[in-house]
Amino acid sequence: MAEALVSGILKAKLAPPTNISATDISSSRLEHFKKTFQIVVGSDNAEEAKRADVIILCVKPQIMAMVASEIKDQLSPEQLLISVAAGYSLTRIQKDVGIKMSLVRAMPNTPAVIQEGVTALAGSSRLPLHHLQLAQTIFESVGKVVIVEESLMDAVTGLSGSGPAYIYLVIEALTDGGVRVGLPRAVASVLAAQTVLGAARMVLETGEHPALLKDRVTSPGGTTIAGLQQLEAGQLRATFMKAVEAATARSQELGQ
């Protein structure tokens, strides 16, 4: 996710490479960042945090407390700290850093790698508007952004965080269906993936309800209604809803 953000920030020209720094315990990763993006790299979290206006912690929740302990003495109330650690609450982050400062939780998803992600942001109490807007601008460089209450972040994880895996399964199943009825796999794969992409863009760009768009494709007695009948018989909608519920519940468990 760090690499996706650096790439998005640079492509959006939000900052020049010399104004972006990255730290990592892996020297090979640092070399990759330096060679690919020409940004500043280092291994001293505290030193980089001290110099930064915005700090984005792209770390696993298991090591958040450790990283926070390394940088907390270098933090100031004027800085903005953003965390992408799943399930790690703002309250826990506040406790880890030990000072009152601007905090934002972000839940992006993996299509951010190609600047087609969606990120939910939740800010700490009394977060200055300019810091929320700054966080929004940063994550808009890798896709769309929504602002939610922190209490909804587990639901975001269950829907959009895990959602790409659900859609990959749909694309795989549609591809296999195409192969089943005689299409070459390569052709079926392109047809399936582009159909999903096109349908998603129709929803976003027209702003119309998916049910209305579905009805426009569905002619009386036609092919589409025959396919939809099978999907309804398999309880597809209920299964997707249960998947989001299950992933949300698991996110809640992991955050405890």
Instruction: Clarify whether residues 21 and 138 are in a common domain.
Output: yes
Does the pLDDT of residue 224 top 90, yes or no? yes
Beta bridge partners of 81: 55, 103
**Residue 21 sits in a domain of what CATH number?**
3.40.50.720
Report how far residue 82's alpha carbon sits from residue 166's, in angstroms, rounded to the nearest whole number.
27
Answer whether residue 221 shows pLDDT above 80: yes
Q: Per the domain annotation, does 233 fall within a domain? A: yes
Both 176 and 227 in one domain: the answer is yes
147 and 36 together in one domain: yes
Q: For 16-68, how does the pLDDT look when each residue is reduced to its tens digit (9 = 90+)? A: 999 999 999 999 999 999 999 999 999 999 999 999 999 999 999 899 999 99
Final residue of a structural domain among 108, 127, 153: 153
Q: Are 9 and 15 in contact (CB under 8 A)?
A: yes
Taking residues 89-101, report their average pLDDT: 93
Rounded to the nearest integer, the mean pLDDT of the chain is 95
**Helix spans in the chain (H):** 2-11, 27-37, 45-51, 64-71, 90-97, 129-140, 153-156, 163-180, 185-206, 210-217, 223-233, 236-254
Do 141 and 18 fall into the same domain?
yes
- Of 110, 135, 153, the one marking the end of a domain is 153
Tell me whether residue 172 is in a domain.
yes
Angle between helix 163-180 and 236-254 (nearest 10): 150
pLDDT at site 253: 86
In a domain, 158, yes or no: no
Residue 255 has pLDDT above 80, yes or no: no
User: Residue 69: pLDDT above 90?
Assistant: yes
140 and 213 part of one domain: no
Question: Beta partners for 144?
Answer: 118
241: left (phi over 0), alpha (psi -120 to 50) or beta: alpha
Among 103, 112, 34, 39, which Cα is nearest to 68's?
103
Phi and psi of 208, rounded to 5°?
-90, 155
Residue 152 clears pLDDT 80, i.e. is over it: yes
For residues 54 and 76, the answer to whether their CB atoms sit within 8 Å is no
> Does residue 86 sit in the same domain as residue 142?
yes
Residue 117 pairs with which residues in a beta bridge? 143
Same domain, 148 and 42: yes
167: containing domain: 163-254
User: Does residue 181 lie within any of the structural domains?
Assistant: yes
The C-alpha atoms of residue 209 and residue 113 are separated, in whole angstroms, by 28
**Whether residue 220 has pLDDT greater than 80:** yes
In total, how many domains does the chain have?
A: 2
* Tokens (6 digits) for 154: 């587990």
Among 99, 119, 153, the domain boundary falls at 153
For position 256, what pLDDT does the model report? 76
222 and 119 in a single domain? The answer is no
Residue 90: which of 148, 140, 139 has the closest Cα?
148
The CATH number of the domain where 213 resides is what? Answer: 1.10.3730.10
Please state, in angstroms and rounded to a whole number, the distance separating the CA atoms of residues 148 and 138: 16
Q: How far is CA 188 from CA 82, 195, 217, in A?
A: 41, 10, 20
pLDDT of residue 87: 87
What's the mean pLDDT in 135-141?
A: 98
